[in-house]
Structures are given as structure tokens and as C-alpha cells.
Structure 1
Amino acid sequence: MSLDSHFIHRELFAEPTTLGETNTLGSSNLSLLDSCVPCLGKTPVTTSYVALYVSAVIAVVVTVCGNLLVITSVCHFKQLHTPTNVLLVFLAVTDFFVGIFVMPLQFVWLIESCWFFGAAACAFFNFVSFHLTCASIHIVALIAVDRCMALSNPFFYSKKISVNLMIIVATLDWVFSLFYNFALLYCNGFFTHALTLCPFTCLIAVDEIWSWVDFVVVFVLPCSIMFLLYLIIFAIARRHANAIRAANSQVNPNARQNDNVPKRSERKAAKVLGILVSVFLLCVVPYYIASIIPGSINAKIFEEVLSITSALLYLNSLFNPIIYALFYPWFQKCMKIILSCQICSPSSSVMHVK
């Protein structure tokens, strides 16, 4: 969902110090310009330089194509029209846009250590990456809510949670993200002041209050929800596993037919989506830890740490379709149908893929 620039720009707009100090340079364009690092010109073409670009191209292609396969699979095959899969589609759409609009610009910026695309592209890059990151994190949190509801009260979930309801919820998340990030950028002068504070870079300044608000809204709150809900999910899964073992040992058929006990498929889905959330957190948390490192750290080391963690953050958009391919048999079957062009068949939408 992917996403790096959103964090880079939210935590590093002003200077590479602690999160609470981001207004130090934001209050003075002169001091900010004094801190700017000049562009060193064209990077020499070396083996490692070429390898970086090849890796970046592969990452972008796999991200775009992998998430496009997820979107096509869930939207086309009617058997996959479930509330949970609606969230997976919204997450895949977010990751797809990251691969199209954000990753190429960010990878060139990271490899060249210069922003070559101008102020207009910088404005587009900032707003899109802000929106996609915020939407992605909240959708992953919604996935945790969805799985917790499906496991804790399967009867209520099956009766009340519909595909249309989930589409509305996910759409509202996108709308909230658009308005929230517009407000964040507008209140920090993004649409009225110079778009770039340093030549050949693409940063803006965020004041201290907005920096902390953003830290809570985009990171602390959704990640806390994910952590707490997956603790609950883990406890529910253990309790149900113990109940099933007890029922099997007593050969009690009534215990198996209880409508309020999650199906095996629901428990498996919770495991896979738990892996998805865990990988997401592994990609996101290192960047936030790096972004609040004390300002006393060596600036060169700080920049290198952020470059590595930001690249990891972007790669989350690449990891998601790989997780589906490894753990979802239905996605494997859908890929075979799509890549073999069987999807062109008039009746392909009703094929059995699960």
C-alpha cells in the first residue's frame, strides 16, 4: 500500500532530526536553503549503478503486473466477490498506483540523489504518494478489523457484512485520505509557497503540530489497531482449535455444526492475512524508527539508513501479490486462467477457482 515518499516527506520535510523538531527549518526558508546539499551531477555509469536501475525496473514491473493480476482476478471471477476480497482489491489498486506513479520517480531520486523532474512533477508526486500511503495503511487496518469480526462472530459477519457495505467502507477510506492529505498540504503552504525548498529535491516543510498529528493518524493509530486485533485473532484461533480438538475426541457432531464457529477457510484466511499485515509492518516500522532517530546521529549515516528503509517501504507494494501467489491457491489458479487467455471465454467469470 505501499509508499515511501509519503513517510519521507512527512517526517523529513524540514531536517533529519527527531519528529518533534520538523518545524525548525519550516519556519525559515533561508535556514532550509543553507542545509541543502548540492547535486553532484550525473552519476558515473558503473556495474552497481546499472544493477540498481535493473532492480528498480524489475520491482516496478512486478509491482504493476502482480497487482493488476489481483485486481483482474477478484473483479472478473464472481466466486471471489467477497467482503474480504473487496479490501484486497482496494489494497491492490493502491499498490498498482504506487508502482505506476510513485516508485519510478522515487527510485530515480534515490539512485541519482537528485530530483530531475521539476516542480510540477514534485507537486503531483507528493500529493499522490501522501494519499496512497495513508489509504494503504488504513485499508490494511480494515483487513484486520474484517478478519477479527469474521472469527469472533461468524454468524453476524455472514449476515450483516456484504460486498456492497465493504465497497462503501473502503471508498470512504479513500475519500478521507484525499481530504486529510489535502488539508495537511494546504495548511503547510504546499499550494501557496514554493513547491521545492531545495534545488534538485522534492521536499516541503511541515510544522511540529501537523507532524505529530500525521504521525498518529497515519502510523500510530492504525498500527495499534492492527496489533491489538491480531492479538485477539490469535486468542480466538487458539480457542477454536482447542474446541475442535475436544469435539473430535468426544465425537460430538453438534460441536462441528455450530454456526458461530468459524469455518476452516476463515481461519486459513486469517493466517494468510496475518502474514500480509506482518510483512506490511516489517516494511513500515523500520522507516518510522529511522525517521525519529535523534538529530545527533551522523547526517551521512542517517541519510543512508533512510534510503534503505524507504526502499523497503516501497517494496511492500511488490510483496503483497507475491504473498497471494504463495498462499492463495485461488490466486494461483486465476493467474493460470488469465495468462493462458482462458479468461477470454464467455463463461470464464463463473469458473470455479476456489
Structure 2
Amino acid sequence: MEHTGLNQTDDGETVLLCYPHLQGSCPRLNRLPVVQLTMYFFISTMILMTVCGNLLVIISISHFRQLHGPTNFIILSLALADCCLGCFVMPFTMVKNVEGCWYFGQFFCQFHSSLDMMLCAVSILHLCLISVDRYFAICEPLQYRTKITTFKVIILVVIVWLYSFAFSFGLMFSGANSVGFEEFILLNSCAGSCLLLFNTEWGIIAPLVSFFIPGGVMSCLYIKIFHVARKHAKVMSDRVATVTCSDLKNQASEQRERKAAKTLAVVMGGFLLCWMSFFLILVIDPFINFTTPVEVFDTFFWIGYFNSTCNPIIYAFFYPHFRKAFKIILSKTCGIKMAKNIVLSL
């Protein structure tokens, strides 16, 4: 008898299965084909925008010497994390959410969950580094060049990646996140499932370490930055009557730093807004016996992922240097394609 992927329940209702040839298979989501195609189209577009947008940031900073600097090297690493998320995490999550099945094996389920957690931790810690960088640039400008050097930034970026890797993969592959919930996981797992569960302890520790503490540090630093920037603006307005050439240069430099701080504050604010709901649910879920609907988890996951799509758009909108770099790269790419088409047509 040929397997059709269907199963009959006791009530006579037809159920689609993830693995019809396996006993104990998870049921597939019974969505209309038009709904599935629509979901695939919109999510694929979001993934493509994430990858292409962050590649533009990576190429811009790598190619143009004017963009070489401590802050932009952190942004380069942040864009790399977002690009990796778009390439190696989001496509598999898309299939899982649209089909309602995990087709990629249990080992890759753990690897995927670990990589997802790692890239999220990398992003928030990079934003934390950026806030520290902006703090010294605005609040202690005379010490900025000595305290924040490219070499120090590269060392810190490497530490962030290594720490995030060790924390995320160590937690998931050691099974520490699910200690005490082995029976619950056994009862709720089936062929085609990929459960990401945290017990009460790690449900608090993981979000605290990877999101809430760095987020609190960033918020405090940016409050201090804007307080100092406002004070500088007031001082400059009081001295407007006796402005010298040197003062004008300092004022222009301070304005650039303030604008950069505002831009990066928008990036930080976008990250916190996008991921806040997911991390709150992650903390609450163990206390309500994991009764949060899967659809709610999936929705907050994609809102978080959307932040990686938005970052390059924020840079292009607020940062003139990035906007110019994007235009040059895109115009050159279009020019090369046109030249190739002309050659092929001859």
C-alpha cells in the first residue's frame, strides 16, 4: 500500500503527517496552498533583503577606506552576524513555521537553535560595544583616540564571537537548558519536531545574560550620551557670538558625533523593540508550564529576525557615508551586468 502522508483520527478526520512512514510522526499544518505560497513569498523576500542589505554594508566598509574606523568595524561585524542569520538560520525556520515540521534531523535542530541563540547574543553585545564607543566619542572626546583603537576593537569583537559561541553551543549541547523537563520533552516530542525549551533557571539566566543586562547597559550609556550632547549644544549656543574657525571645526565634529550617536541609538532601539517581546515570553513560559501557543512564539521570532532586515535600511537612511557607498556599489554592479549583456548580445 502506498503512503500518501495522510492519517485518520478516531473521529474520522484526515491528518497530514510530517513523516507518514514513521510511527509517532508529528502532524503537519493543514494550510491552503495559496496561504503557504504567500508565506513563502513574503518570508523569502525578507530573507533576501536581509542577506543583500547586510552584504552591502560588509562590502561598503571593506572596500572604502573612508569607512575604516573603530565604530564601523563593529558595524561590519554586526552586519556579518545579521547576514549569517539570513543565510543559515532564517531559511530553515521558514520551512519549519510554514510546514509545521522539522525535516532536517535532531542534530541539526540543536545546531540551528544554538546558532540562532549565538547570533542574537553576538548582535546585542555588538550594540553594547557600539554604545561604549559612542560614550567615549561624545563624553570623553580627548581620550577617545587613545582608549578606542582599531586593534582593541578587533580584540573585543573576537571575544564577543567566542563568548557567544561558547555560551550558546555549550548550553544547548550540554542539555543544561532542559534539566528537570526530560519527561515533558519526551511526551511532547515526535518525529518532525524541533523543541526549544528552557527550564525555570535557564529561562531567566539566558535572557538576562544575553539580552536584559546588555540592554540595560546600553540604555544607561545612551541616556548619559544624550545628556552630555544636550549640554554641549547649550554651551555652543551660548558662545555663538564669539565663534572662531577652531570653534566651527569643533562644532562640526561634535555635530557629526551626535548624529552618529542618534543613528546608532535608532539601531539599538530597533533591536530592543524587536526582541523584547520574545525574551519576555522566554522568561514567562516555564512559569506557565509551556502553554504559550506556538504561533505566538513564531510571530515574536520573526519580529526579532526583522531587526536584521532593518539595520542596513537604517544605515542607508541616516548615514550619508553609507548611502553614498551603497549607490556607488549598486551603480558599478548594474554597469558590469549591462556590459556583460551587451557582450553576450554581440
Structure 1 residue corresponding to 2:211, chosen from 210, 219, 222: 219
DSSP-derived class of the 1:263 partner: helix
Letter in structure 2 aligned against 1:246: D
> Given that residues 28 and 100 in structure 2 are in contact (C-alpha distance below 8 angstroms), is that contact kept between their aligned partners in structure 1?
no
Q: Which residue of 2 aligns with 1:112?
A: 99
Question: 1:67-101: per-residue Cα shift (whole Å, max 9, x none)?
Answer: 01100100111111010001100100000000000
> Given that residues 66 and 321 in structure 1 are in contact (C-alpha distance below 8 angstroms), is that contact kept between their aligned partners in structure 2?
yes
- Paired with 1:208 and 1:290, the residues of 2 have a C-alpha distance of 12
> Given that residues 43 and 94 in structure 2 are in contact (C-alpha distance below 8 angstroms), is that contact kept between their aligned partners in structure 1?
yes
- After TM superposition, give the deviation of residue 297 of structure 1 in Å: 9.8
Root-mean-square deviation over aligned CA pairs: 3.1
Q: Which residue of 2 aligns with 1:277?
A: 268
Q: Which residue of 2 aligns with 1:322?
A: 313
- Paired with 1:131 and 1:69, the residues of 2 have a C-alpha distance of 23
Q: Which residue of 1 aligns with 2:112?
A: 125
Structure 1 residue corresponding to 2:146, chosen from 159, 168, 176: 159
Unpaired runs of at least 5, structure 1: 1-36, 346-354
Q: In the superposition, relative to structure 1, how do residues 202 and 291 fare at CA in structure 2: closer, same or farther (>3 Å)?
A: same
DSSP-derived class of the 1:341 partner: helix
Q: In the superposition, relative to structure 1, how do residues 204 and 342 fare at CA in structure 2: closer, same or farther (>3 Å)?
A: closer
> Given that residues 274 and 307 in structure 2 are in contact (C-alpha distance below 8 angstroms), is that contact kept between their aligned partners in structure 1?
yes
Unpaired runs of at least 5, structure 2: 1-23, 337-346
Question: 1:91-126: per-residue Cα shift (whole Å, max 9, x none)?
Answer: 000000000000111122122222122123213212
Higher relative contact order (CA 8 A, sep 6+): 1
Q: What does 1:119-268 align with in structure 2 at a 5 Å threshold?
A: 119-188=106-175, 198-199=189-190, 200-248=192-240, 250-253=241-244, 256=247, 263-268=254-259
- Paired with 2:78 and 2:220, the residues of 1 have a C-alpha distance of 21
- Paired with 1:51 and 1:127, the residues of 2 have a C-alpha distance of 29
Question: 1:202-250: per-residue Cα shift (whole Å, max 9, x none)?
Answer: 12554433333212211221011011111101101111111111111x3
Aligned length: 306
* TM superposition score normalised by structure 2: 0.79
> Given that residues 247 and 253 in structure 1 are in contact (C-alpha distance below 8 angstroms), is that contact kept between their aligned partners in structure 2?
no
- Paired with 2:282 and 2:34, the residues of 1 have a C-alpha distance of 30
* TM superposition score normalised by structure 1: 0.78
Letter in structure 2 aligned against 1:236: V
Q: Which residue of 2 aligns with 1:27?
A: none
Q: In the superposition, relative to structure 1, how do residues 210 and 75 fare at CA in structure 2: closer, same or farther (>3 Å)?
A: same
> Given that residues 154 and 261 in structure 1 are in contact (C-alpha distance below 8 angstroms), is that contact kept between their aligned partners in structure 2?
no
1:50 aligned to 2:37?
Answer: yes
Q: In the superposition, relative to structure 1, how do residues 102 and 136 fare at CA in structure 2: closer, same or farther (>3 Å)?
A: same
Percent identity reads 34
Q: Which residue of 1 aligns with 2:69?
A: 82
Q: What does 1:342-353 align with in structure 2 at a 5 Å threshold?
A: none
- Paired with 1:334 and 1:133, the residues of 2 have a C-alpha distance of 27
Letter in structure 2 aligned against 1:265: R
Q: In the superposition, relative to structure 1, how do residues 66 and 258 fare at CA in structure 2: closer, same or farther (>3 Å)?
A: closer
Which one has a bigger Cα radius of gyration? Answer: 2
